[in-house]
Chain A
């Protein structure tokens, strides 16, 4: 089988020689030097390696690079366009939604998929969109705030004590 594979990464076409056992994460970080995509658990459980493939959120650690033939990949390096940060990135900075920064590229891309499909999400929709991105530093509140702000919304006022019911 022809090992030369054409992949569109961050709106640029790459022609690449790939081995079958190379993951997209290996390709991005080691072959292309795009280290913005983070390597966390490497078994699909943390979301640090999240990228967007053909508009869908994907874990690059669980994706064979060869299978990206002909696809469009967006990594954190491609989130800013024409030298301007994406509103999600600007709001992450403004709201202080970053501590160590390890989870940040991953949740930013998950949030981008959300806003691309649903420009004014509710808090619950935001929570569910980033529920595959684990942050070990912050609570998730500032992250949620910054995503809602990028969508032109603000965090709803917290329910008075005793009114929040546990979910099954």
Chain B
């Protein structure tokens, strides 16, 4: 499976990279680890005329932490380096769980945090090889006008299946973008457009430069659980991240609560209902209520290989309850 022809550039500053990408518009794509992008090129799903390598851009591979500012992760940090970082292991074990659940060891070593967040959506029709796809009419995502998942739909229903996004959303992360309008800092959630066809809300010339995670408060616990068929290789068929902080004292009142999911919609979901737990004691009834709210919000579709949609949906409540209990456990200890 040969790669199609393209031009290649390796700019040596972030500004140069952004200007080059802006000047070439839609026909130039940034390449980080390349594990997501090159698959799309091999399968003839994307046709960039130029790849702009971010590997030579300085300062994108740093991991820094301070109690005042929290954690800052450069977009080009590999998942394997993130998971091996002593501070991340100590203060943000949820990021270790999420990073080490991506694909395989080799993909973790090659894949970057920025590339993981900005990965394309998945769909078992769109993701087939060009040869297999020949038998089907091109779908919305390939410039056609049909969705093979929801055949009556005017929209593309490909699923967002990144593993880091839910963990970072639950931790309250924000992202810095570099580009034409200067640097911009946004809540991570705003990176995702909710459009299956074009899931990342970046304009040509805009690059994700850094991810910021607030300092880990005391008495907090965060957990990421991933449903997949095999313990390796597979993308999530459901991913649930929960982050809880408890009030001081013995009463077990919740100070903050956040819940995020992946693989059950066109964008990762940050569930607003979780915020209602703040200031309340976490009872069994409340955990079940939260699980129910997540179940109602999740829309697994028949767009991923593996388990049935019904099974995936029925696992939402199970995984939320499990994740809340585990997060609570680690917040107490």
Q: Which residues of A contact B (CB under 8 A)?
A: 1, 19-23, 26, 42-45, 47, 50, 56-59, 62-64, 66-67, 110, 128-129, 131-134, 167-168
Q: Is the CB of A132 within 8 A of B34?
A: no
Closest to B105 in A: A132
Q: Is the CB of B4 within 8 A of A21?
A: yes
- Among the 9-residue stretches B37-45, B68-76, B169-177, the one with 4 or more Cβ atoms under 8 Å from chain A is B37-45
A58–B106 CA distance with the chains assembled, in angstroms:
5
Given A20-B51, A43-B42, A110-B105, the answer on whether A62 and B231 have CB atoms closer than 8 Å is no
A43–B103 CA distance with the chains assembled, in angstroms:
12
Given A1-B8, A21-B6, A66-B8, the answer on whether A47 and B104 have CB atoms closer than 8 Å is yes
Residues 97-128 of chain B: 1 if any A CB is under 8 Å from the residue's CB, otherwise 0? Answer: 00000011111011000000000000000000
Q: Is the CB of A21 within 8 A of B105?
A: no
Top 6 A-B residue pairs of the complex, sorted by shortest distance between their CB atoms? A132-B104, A20-B8, A131-B232, A21-B3, A56-B109, A42-B1
In chain B, positions 7-64 with a C-beta closer than 8 Å to chain A are 7-10, 31, 34-35, 38-39, 42-43, 51, 53, 55
Q: Is the CB of A59 within 8 A of B106?
A: yes
Minimum distance in angstroms from B149 CB to a CB of chain A = 21
Q: Can you list 11 A-B pairs, Cβ within 8 angstroms, ordered by A? A: A20-B5, A43-B42, A44-B39, A47-B104, A56-B78, A58-B109, A62-B110, A64-B8, A64-B34, A64-B53, A110-B106
User: Which of the four size classes fits the interface of chain B?
Assistant: 20 to 34
Q: Is the CB of A42 within 8 A of B105?
A: no
Minimum distance in angstroms from A109 CB to a CB of chain B = 10
Residue among A19, A22, A50, A56 having the largest count of chain B Cβ atoms under 10 Å? A56
A50–B233 CA distance with the chains assembled, in angstroms:
15
A50–B1 CA distance with the chains assembled, in angstroms:
17
A67–B31 CA distance with the chains assembled, in angstroms:
11
Q: Is the CB of A67 within 8 A of B107?
A: no
Residues of B within 8 A of A62 (CB): 34-35, 38-39, 110
Whether, in the assembled complex, B241 has its beta carbon less than 8 Å from a beta carbon of chain A, the answer is no
CB < 8 Å: which of A21, A67, A132 contacts B232? A132
Whether, in the assembled complex, B145 has its beta carbon less than 8 Å from a beta carbon of chain A, the answer is no
Q: Is the CB of B80 within 8 A of A56?
A: yes
